[in-house]
Amino acid sequence: MKSILLSNFLITLSFCQDISQEAKDRFGESSEVLGVLRDLSYRGWLEDWWTRVNNPKPGLLVIDLQNDFITGSLAVPEAEDILELAQEIIDWQNFTKVFFSKDWHPSNHISFFSNLELRDLDPEWREKHPGNISMFDEVVFARDPPYSQVLWPDHCIQESEGANIHPSLNYPIFAIEILKGQDPEIDSYSAFFDNGGNGDTGLKDLLKDFVTEVVVIGLATDYCVGSTTIDAQKIGIPATLLTDASRGVSDTTVESMLDRVQDYGGCVSTWPEWQADLETWHRAKHIADTMLRQFNSAHGSVANFYILVVTFVLVQFLVSE
């Protein structure tokens, strides 16, 4: 039995060494490359990573390119400027999956300024903010725990013209729509979950085992596009936000969101840069970093120590008399 285990262990070790050598031949032997290969090997993920690197299956998330965000009640500045490039990206033949998200709000949605009087404000917050409340203010509603919400103009109401995807855009026949923000009591910036981190739209299950990474474009960079990119990273899907195919509400909040995206391990790029990166170490490292980040988030830094101990004990057992 021990000889069989040893034989299998040595075969696996040899296979990992072959992959490591191929990776070093392709990307070089810098300390960064060697460190990533070592960390992936410890976790038994080297083969999975190498498969993703060599067989890219990117997905595209087109976020909220709806009439109300382009020419309607909540038009994002310069939103029309990205439509031509967005169509070029949508038409790229190498995306494995393409999703269009849509805000799909009921008329009594909590994010609408017009509905402010429908719900009680948090009394402690109101005591500190006694003045008039205006459109675009952030308020806190009374609930447990209290719920913060920016107040927007009515937008993307279900079945309205404003909720439709802009008519200049053509869907691929295999594109899938993801509807978000349907719960009247909570907003949903991300195409994955609502703003409380729940309210799963189903996008995670449609993507998780079918793509190696996602590209995120649309409106608005500082809200729905950025939030979707961050949530993709959180669930272990390497995500890149394309700034040339997205627009934001304000420069200040865009800058803050792009910093957050990168803090969560996401990439910020442009369409030409992303295409040029497909065969580079930058993309390979992004995939590896996302895999390792998710592992460390789930198991904690102490996991590295236990992996080393288990590996050492296994080797000692296999080679002992």
Q: Note the pLDDT tens digit of each residue in 270-302.
A: 999 999 999 999 999 999 999 999 876 555 544
Name the strand (E) or helix (H) holding 176: strand 176-180
Q: What is the pLDDT of residue 294?
A: 81
The catalytic position among 154, 180, 187, 267 is: 180
Q: What is the pTM of this model?
A: 0.89
Higher pLDDT, 273 or 2: 273
The catalytic position among 64, 122, 194, 231 is: 64
Q: How many CA atoms lie within 13 A of 176 on its CB side?
A: 17
Name the strand (E) or helix (H) holding 177: strand 176-180
224 catalytically annotated: yes
Check: CB of residue 108 under 8 Å from CB of residue 184: yes
Alpha carbon distance 314, 163 (integer Å): 58
Q: Note the pLDDT tens digit of each residue in 98-145.
A: 999 999 999 999 999 999 999 999 999 999 999 999 999 999 999 999
Residue showing tokens 């310069």: 78
Q: What's the one-letter identity of residue 225?
A: V
Q: Give 156's contacts (C-beta < 8 A, 6+ positions apart).
A: 64, 66, 68, 69, 74, 102, 103, 104, 105, 162, 163, 181
Alpha carbon distance 30, 143 (integer Å): 53
Q: What is the token pair recorded at 108?
A: 């009594």
The catalytic position among 103, 224, 231, 234 is: 224
Q: What is the pLDDT of residue 7?
A: 41
Check: CB of residue 248 under 8 Å from CB of residue 218: no
